[in-house]
Amino acid sequence: MLLYGIFRPIGLTWIRIRHRLDRANKLELKQVDLPGHGTLSVDESLDFVGDNCLRTNLLIKLVLDKAIAGAVYEISSDNLSAVETIPFMLPNCDCEHLATIHESTCRKIYIRKRKPQTSPTESKSRPHGRQR
């Protein structure tokens, strides 16, 4: 927990710096053709080539927790253990795994943030105790 408190601000700062640099270099949205989903616009590309599994998963979780509903993310990683664990952590972040594409240098994972689900109003149950 102590390490999380130390490394979280560093990770968030690094994400902001990389995000600004990527936005400055990006002139148009990237289009990708995913099997079963058609052509989608990628809203954000996250490059984790060369990073270890723990750092990759932690930063992805931080980004996806603050993601906008409906946004599509492309995550590039060459760490096989990170690529295998990312689809399993997505339901906790309200995201869905669209596809994983194997390339020669890395694997690209495509994710979409789900729209928030509205829970039906729960009917009030009778208080415990005597029944009538």
Q: What is the 3-state secondary structure (H, E, C) of 45-68?
A: EEECCCCCHHHHHHHHHHHHHCCC
| Angle subtended by helix axes 2-25 and 53-65, to nearest 10 | 70
d(Cα 32, Cα 52) in Å, to the nearest integer? 26
| Predicted confidence (pLDDT) per residue in 4-59, tens digit | 566 566 666 766 666 555 554 554 578 877 778 888 888 888 888 888 878 888 88
Q: Which CATH number fits domain 2-113: 3.40.50.970, 3.60.21.10, 3.40.1350.10, 3.30.110.40?
A: 3.30.110.40
Place of tokens 């729960």: 122
* pLDDT tens track for 55-70: 888 888 888 888 888 8
Average pLDDT, integer, range 114-121? 66
Q: Taking the model in full, what pTM does it have? A: 0.66
**Residue 88 phi, psi (nearest 5):** -80, -20
- The domains of the chain are located at 2-113
Structure tokens at 130: 């005597």
Maximum CA extent, the chain: 70
Q: What are the distances in angstroms from CA 118 to CA 94, 121, 124, 125?
A: 13, 9, 18, 20
CA distance 54 to 57: 5
